[in-house]
Structure 1
């Protein structure tokens, strides 16, 4: 099993600018960029027009390291101090569940561990020290 930890930057509507800036500043390779508008349509949760061009998820690689970036969804507060979180990437859903369950002890589940269109097992949890983690199983498809 493999596991990696990466910083995950939360931007306030300027995610595209941040991707370009870090690409240049860190000589990074942009591996992927998805906007909220790229998400599958859901009639129960329509994406507002002002969110469609915002960054849902971007991944940059520099050397052996990765960094991820996402814009705050409109209507959610962007809080200074919470703009850097940690992404935990694993290659096994049972390991993701084990890590998630341990991190939630004394903490707060922000998004339950679940299958998403980008991962067979993804969830967000704030641990007892106030650090937010994105726990994700790599999609091997």
Structure 2
């Protein structure tokens, strides 16, 4: 099983500034930045104007490591202590389901595994130790 684990930072509306800061401070290469406004429209959901320029997902390469980052979605609670999560990228949906099912034991599902515009299978769990995990299927790696 191929598994990649990356720190994932959650900022409170200042994600664009954080990307530039880490780029300079850590001599990072910006692999990509996508805003909520660049996402495909969701039927029955209107994106709030204040969310359009917020970072939905950013990836920076720092040496041989990867740092991921996003802004907290407007209206969602921003809790200090929750601004660092762990992103796990797996090659297949079966691997993602297995890891998701094991991490949910004693934990809380934040977002059930589901297809998204960026992953065939993505979900979030806060485990029994209070750590938030983002499980993502990335068959291209």
TM-score (normalizing by structure 2): 0.96
Question: Is 1:66 the counterpart of 2:66 in the alignment?
Answer: yes
Q: Is the 1:118–1:139 Cα contact (8 Å) retained in structure 2?
A: no
Q: Residue 120 of structure 2 aligns with which residue?
A: 120
Q: Residue 94 of structure 2 aligns with which residue?
A: 94
Question: Is 1:129 the counterpart of 2:105 in the alignment?
Answer: no
Instruction: Give the root-mean-square deviation of aligned CA atoms.
Output: 1.2
Query: Residues 4 and 31 of structure 1: is their aligned pair in 2 closer, same or farther, counting only changes over 3 Å?
Result: same
Q: Is the 1:114–1:122 Cα contact (8 Å) retained in structure 2?
A: yes
SS at structure 2 position matched to 1:116: coil
Q: Residue 52 of structure 1 aligns with which residue?
A: 52
Q: Is the 2:92–2:139 Cα contact (8 Å) retained in structure 1?
A: no
Structure 1, unmatched stretches of 5+, are none
Aligned length: 141
Superposed CA offset, 1:13-62 (max 9, x none): 00000000001111111111110001111241111110000000001111
Structure 1 segments, 4+ long, off by >3 Å, are: none
Structure 2, unmatched stretches of 5+, are none
